[in-house]
Amino acid sequence: MTSRRATRTTSSASPARAARTTVAAAALGALALAATSCSLVGGDDDTGQGGSGESDTVVLLTHNDFFLPDEVVAAFEEESGYQLDVRPTDGVGNLVNLVSEQAGKPSGDVVFGVDNTFASRVLGADALTSYAGDLPPGVATYALPGDDEGDLVPVDNGNVCVNVDDVWFAKQEIEPPVTLDDLTDPAYEGLFVVPSAASSSPGLAFLLSTIAEYGDEWPSYWEDLLANDTEIVAGWSEAYQSEFTQGGGDGDRPIVVSYDSSPAFTVDGEGGTTTSALLDTCYQQVEYAAALDGADNPDGAQALLDFMVGPDVQAALPESMYVFPVADDTELPSDWATFAARPSESYEVDPAEIEANREDWLIEWTDIISR
Amino acid sequence: MKRAAGLVALATLPLGVLTVFFVLPVVGMLGRGLWPDGSFDPAALYDVLSRPRVGRVIWFTVWTSTVATVVAVVLGLPAAYALHRLDFPLRGVVRSALLVPFVLPTVVVGVAFRQLLREGGPLGFLGIDGTPWAILAGLVFFNVAVVIRSVGAAWESLDRRPGEAAAALGATPRQVFTSITLPSLRPAIVSSASVVFLFCATAFGVVLTIGGVRYASVETEIYLLTTVLYDLPGAAALSIVQLLAVVALLAVSARVRRVPDPTVQRATPRPLRPRRSDAPQLIATGVLLALLAAPIAALVAESLRVEDRWSLGHYRNLATTGGDGVLVVPVTTALRNSLQTALDATWIALLLGLLVSVVLTRRSRSATERRVRSVLDGFFMLPLGVSAVTLGFGFLVTLGREPLDLRTWPLLVPVAQALVALPLVVRTLVPVLAGIDDRQRQAAASLGAGALRTAMTVDVPIVLRPVVAAAGFAFAVSLGEFGATSFLSRADHPTVPVVIFRLIGRPGEGNYGMALAASVVLAATTALVILAVERLRVPAMGSW
């Protein structure tokens, strides 16, 4: 009995309800049509015909921040005769691990996005093969110390620096800080926000600059930072957008870890910028590309590496990936040329030392900040 | 014999897909961790698990997930009653809006939470900023809808007469609730609680973004070990702990939610006008909705601010590629990509979900058969309980090159998303299919209907609307999915969450505003789709 009634309840429909059902179904259908151009097989295009194995395609393994304008990609494809197949993955760490994991049997031809904090891991995994081309003037100055075979081709660079909100400091009539030491000064109590070294790349770079400055004493510097009410958040977005006074989210901290290029994005429209980078606090990050050992298309890999250090990519780097070019005489966008001041010297930690100590440093750092 | 063969044939496709896209990547990762140099080393496993930090991490995960689950159930019950048992204006709109948190990117919600909770913010007086309580609030925000929808659906179809009889015999409303209503709702409460617990225990963005970095959960620890430290043995050890916990949880919840005869309770009485005695539930619902709406309202308001004035500027920019061309494609194109991907993910999830549900609900003829079915049931829930990093990175190393190179397969992202949505689809369809009395099919057959005709006249009319409802779930999950997508998405084919992440990761007021506007558009799209689905008036959908 019960079940028969139930069946009737579910299947009977009043005319009004039927009409509503029809309208809703029609709406869904329209949405589906609008959405798809009738895709029941996922896509409309032609990328990666069969992936590796075809020598007319170059497969680039990279991270999610990789981006080049269409015309630059088209220029590569036209000049070289190869199709570019870009396969991004989640972040530098995973990219580096993927390449190391597949050493000798890679799932691509070229890797781009390995930076100087992770480079030793890839070199140690024997996943790369050396670059045979000629580097344009200026590029070699960014070569990775310890890369004796010349596997890693520098492509771009940028500095992770402490940034300050000049407007805020002017209004409060306080002198902004200048050095890492200043950040522990009680005058700046509760004003500084840092992305985590464990979950963000600029966060790790900032930790490394404190290690470069204070050596074995870095833990006590961090204790002082925390005693001065420094806030630590998950990533760059949380720090800059949410907590920084010049970020999007009405934050209340006027000192933040960001990049030397950031002031070019806070232009006030009256010929100035509202923020500046503290040039004595910077850690230089260099991003490298390299041909993968055992790749299906070594010639294509070579062509892509040549192109990455060539004028088209170098000129496109600031606006597409927010980093500085490595080749001399590359013209910068005008806001960058005017407002993105660069440090003359920055902190460095030997890549091999980073690889050897990363785990110990991060565990000690995590212990300090979770006390 | 023929029957068994038929069921095996039905199970083949879903099992095959799950094996390739879930078992293979996860086993690949565990294998790399447990056999680092080709030989199994249990001592290393023990070493990892005996680190004091690991103990702390597991404890933190267990207690936050448990408390968040309890809070979600306690807050969700009155709302489930009010939204599914009572009739009031805009009920449908509220119900569909409840799924919005499902699709909002955590990083965006994180910013909104901070704006509300920080000192001087509208909810700053709570003083929970930067404490574990903020994490709990985030977990509840993202998950309470699961309780409301699934318990609400069970409540909606609950037969009123036993309660009314008890009341006529002198039971107080409280007695009716504790002795009649609550026991009948137990299966739904238990299974939604177990799903919420799984979501909480594997939450990643909430813990990091909202909680700050002082707290580590199993999930964030697996991320740290896998991605930053490249300590695959450590990650594998934690993944095994995670898997064992999930299996235990599923086993317990399957036992507790079992009802003797699910066909008894299927009836959908008309919702009632609210009465004075409903005031406490309505007030509780109002407070909950206000708390859920606060971060979303903050987000909408912020997206409408351009240089301290109200404006639609950020929305107009969605048709561009952002300040200085940050984006590969405008957000409008990304929305098209997202909808396209979601459509594919939806049909895949529905196809697999239907097959699984049919296999799970056919009447078992022996104890063994029943046991096989319940193992299968649990198996298809597993993707909810495994770390996104393990799965994502496992995908890359096992499916990224010969012999199985699926990296550029256009359906890769939709399939990954469909696996995330599959448990929700199955949980929506199973109760409905199980509720069909097998005698109806037998009657149809004895009247001369063939298998197809029987299905068309008996099963399809009942299942049609739950299928559409499940489609809505799958669609929403796919629209908001970021974990797997960020590992696998194609550079030229970004979805909206990927684009939002990119925008909010750049300085400049315009990019930030566009990220918020894109989130609002994503949320609104989701709500509209769910609202359209709800209009189909599916009775008793989503019983877990």
Residue ranges and CATH numbers for the domains of chain A are 57-158+285-339 (3.40.190.10), 159-283+344-369 (3.40.190.10)
pLDDT band at B539 (very low <50, low <70, confident <90, very high): very low
Q: Does A243 touch chain B (CB under 8 A)?
A: yes
pLDDT value at position B534? 67
**Domain presence at residue B543:** no
Nearest Cα neighbor of B26 from B188, B232, B207, B265 is B232
Residue A195 has pLDDT above 70, yes or no: yes
Residue A301 has pLDDT above 90, yes or no: yes
Q: Please tell me the total number of residues recorded for chain B in this structure.
A: 544
User: Which tokens sit at B146?
Assistant: 């699961």
CB-nearest partner of A88 from B389, B393, B491: B491
Residues of A in contact with B209 (CB under 8 A): 233-235, 238
Question: The pTM is what?
Answer: 0.81
Give the Cβ contact number of residue B371 at 10 Å: 11
**Domain presence at residue B363:** yes
The beta strand positions in A35-135, using DSSP E, are 57-63, 83-89, 110-115, 128-129
**Domain presence at residue B117:** yes
Determine the Cα–Cα distance for residues B521 and B333; give it in Å rounded to an integer.
13
Cβ neighbours for A43, distance < 8 A, ≥ 6 positions apart: B340, B410, B493
Determine the Cα–Cα distance for residues B103 and A170; give it in Å rounded to an integer.
41
User: Mean pLDDT highest for which of A20-34, B154-168, B342-356, B524-538?
Assistant: B342-356
Residues of A in contact with B160 (CB under 8 A): none
Q: What is the mean pLDDT of residues B170-186?
A: 84
Q: What is the mean pLDDT of residues B270-283?
A: 79
Distance (Å) from the C-alpha of residue B296 to the closest C-alpha of chain A? Answer: 14
Name the percent of chain B in helix, strand, coil, to the closest 5: 75, 0, 20
Residue A293 has pLDDT above 90, yes or no: yes
Give residue B347's domain range: 2-268+279-535
pLDDT band at B101 (very low <50, low <70, confident <90, very high): confident
pLDDT band at B434 (very low <50, low <70, confident <90, very high): confident
State the average pLDDT for chain B: 80
A215: left (phi over 0), alpha (psi -120 to 50) or beta: left
Task: Give the angle B119-B123-B128 at the CA atoms, nearest 5°.
Answer: 70
- Which of A3, A115, A117, A296 to mutate to probe the B interface, most B CBs <10 Å? A3
pLDDT band at B64 (very low <50, low <70, confident <90, very high): very high
Distance (Å) from the C-alpha of residue A3 to the closest C-alpha of chain B? Answer: 6
**Domain presence at residue B9:** yes
- Which of A89, A244, A293, A296 to mutate to probe the B interface, most B CBs <10 Å? A89
8 A C-beta contact, residue B401 and residue A105: yes
Determine the Cα–Cα distance for residues B148 and B171; give it in Å rounded to an integer.
26
The CA-based diameter of chain B, rounded to the nearest angstrom, is 73
The verdict on whether omega for the bond into residue B403 sits within 30 degrees of 0, i.e. cis, is: yes
DSSP B202: T
State whether A234 and B462 contact (CB < 8 Å). Answer: no
- One-letter amino acid at B307 equals E
**Domain presence at residue B209:** yes
Q: Describe the crossing of helices B331-361 and A15-36 by its angle, rounded to 10 degrees.
A: 120
Count of domains in chain B? 1
Between the alpha carbon of residue B275 and those of residues B92, B93, B281, the distances in Å are: 19, 21, 11
Predicted-complex ipTM score: 0.80
Q: Does B485 touch chain A (CB under 8 A)?
A: no
Determine the Cα–Cα distance for residues A72 and B379; give it in Å rounded to an integer.
47
Q: Does A1 touch chain B (CB under 8 A)?
A: no
Cβ neighbours for A89, distance < 8 A, ≥ 6 positions apart: A61, A62, A63, A64, A95, A98, B396, B486, B487, B488
Report the percent of chain B where pLDDT is more than 90. Answer: 5
Q: Does A30 touch chain B (CB under 8 A)?
A: no
8 A C-beta contact, residue B425 and residue B473: yes
User: Which tokens sit at A190?
Assistant: 């509760």
pLDDT value at position A19? 47
| CATH for B150 | 1.10.3720.10
B374: left (phi over 0), alpha (psi -120 to 50) or beta: alpha
Q: Does A359 touch chain B (CB under 8 A)?
A: yes
pLDDT value at position B309? 78
**Domain presence at residue B62:** yes
Question: In what helix (H) or strand (E) does residue B397 lie, and over which residues does it extend?
Answer: helix B388-399
State whether A69 and B325 contact (CB < 8 Å). Answer: yes
Between the alpha carbon of residue B146 and those of residues A235, A286, B177, the distances in Å are: 29, 45, 21
Q: What is the mean pLDDT of residues B231-252?
A: 86
pLDDT value at position A161? 96
Q: CA neighbours within 13 Å on the CB side: how many for A153?
A: 30
**Domain presence at residue B225:** yes
- In B, minimum Cα distance to A355 occurs at B229
The residue among A329 and A36 whose pLDDT is bigger is A329
Residue B260 has pLDDT above 60, yes or no: no
Distance of CA B264 to the CA centre of its chain: 28
8 A C-beta contact, residue A300 and residue A58: yes
State whether B410 and A35 contact (CB < 8 Å). Answer: no
Determine the Cα–Cα distance for residues B315 and B449; give it in Å rounded to an integer.
56
- One-letter amino acid at B53 equals R
**Domain presence at residue B273:** no
State whether A43 and B410 contact (CB < 8 Å). Answer: yes
Task: Give the angle A168-A170-A175 at the CA atoms, nearest 5°.
Answer: 100
State the average pLDDT for chain A: 84
Residues of A in contact with B262 (CB under 8 A): none
Determine the Cα–Cα distance for residues B384 and B202; give it in Å rounded to an integer.
8
